[in-house]
């Protein structure tokens, strides 16, 4: 055998340990983004946008007069700390719904995301122009539900209430699925019940008042209609396609 010939077993050394694991993870992420760009990126991008705008506009309200929109009917709503699980679980519900819709017809997915971006933007504008607040109960008891509620109160100060983004986003999930005849009736009913549960949880955790809930739902319906208009639909379609192209270029 020619000593100068390379052995069939000669291969390039593979990265060892954490370097190889890190490289494999990056390759896997890029492959995922390349094959499922829209459904992998748009749900995260949409929820990230609403979260960042929600947090950013709070700095514009420092020192401003805040209005309390509570009415006697709000006091009649029971305070139920255990419903904080529904309130927090809504983030999972939104994400799963956004992913599910984005894996379907592109036009329906574009309408959902366009509605979400419109709602988050208009809500931020209202938060700045019309700051609101409310009086929260003092929670002194122990237990998991009380602890979680105190945590929510600490993280999410009583601002940016009108309209309720929790309610508008939850209602958007229902709006995107209610006319899907390809889905079983029980699936659409489950989406409706979950969306209603999210709205109710904002009241029973004292995160919002009735005015916030109804305005959030109304704004969602308005933006869902606006997102169906040809010019609005075309604008967001071009925007989403540009984002998709950028992600694909990065993943190559």
pLDDT tens digits along 120-156: 999 999 999 999 999 999 998 889 999 999 999 999 9
What's the token pair of residue 53? 């705008």
Residue 218 in domain: yes
Residues 6 or more apart from 198 whose CB is under 8 A from it?
Answer: 86, 87, 90, 93, 166, 167, 170
The answer to whether the peptide bond before residue 12 is cis (omega within 30 degrees of 0) is no
Residue 25 in domain: no
Asked if 175 contacts 224 with a C-beta cutoff of 8 angstroms, the reply is: yes
d(CA 93, CA 76): 28
Residue 126 in domain: yes
Residue 102 in domain: yes
Residues 6 or more apart from 178 whose CB is under 8 A from it?
Answer: 188, 191, 192
Residue range 77-106: mean pLDDT, rounded: 96
Domain coverage including residue 238: 30-62+76-132+139-251
Residue 122 in domain: yes
Q: For residue 36, is pLDDT > 90?
A: no
Tens of pLDDT along 161-172?
A: 999 999 999 999
Give the chain's domain count: 1
Residues 6 or more apart from 136 whose CB is under 8 A from it?
Answer: 153, 158, 206
Band of residue 7 on the pLDDT scale cut at 50, 70, 90:
very low
Residue 3 in domain: no
pTM of the complete model? 0.86
């Amino acid at each position: 055998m020619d000593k100068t010939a390379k052995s069939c077993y000669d291969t390039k050394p593979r990265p060892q340990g954490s370097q190889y694991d890190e490289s494999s993870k990056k390759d896997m992420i890029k492959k995922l983004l390349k094959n499922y760009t829209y459904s992998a990126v748009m749900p995260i991008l949409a929820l990230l946008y609403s979260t960042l705008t929600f947090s950013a506009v709070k700095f514009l309200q420092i020192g401003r007069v805040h209005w309390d929109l509570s009415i006697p009917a709000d006091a009649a709503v029971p305070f139920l700390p255990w419903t904080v699980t529904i309130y927090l679980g809504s983030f999972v519900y939104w994400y799963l719904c956004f992913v599910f819709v984005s894996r379907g017809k592109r036009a329906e997915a574009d309408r959902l995301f366009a509605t979400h971006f419109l709602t988050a933007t208009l809500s931020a504008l209202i938060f700045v122009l019309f700051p609101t607040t409310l009086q929260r109960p003092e929670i002194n008891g122990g237990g998991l539900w009380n602890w979680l509620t105190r945590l929510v109160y600490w993280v999410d100060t009583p601002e940016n209430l009108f309209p309720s983004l929790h309610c508008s986003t939850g209602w958007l999930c229902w709006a995107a699925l209610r006319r899907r005849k390809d889905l079983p009736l029980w699936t659409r009913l489950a989406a409706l019940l979950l969306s209603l549960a999210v709205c109710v949880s904002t009241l029973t955790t004292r995160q919002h008042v009735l005015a916030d809930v109804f305005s959030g739902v109304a704004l969602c319906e308005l933006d869902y209609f606006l997102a169906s208009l040809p010019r609005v639909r075309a604008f967001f379609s071009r925007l989403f396609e540009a984002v998709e192209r950028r992600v694909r270029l990065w993943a190559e």
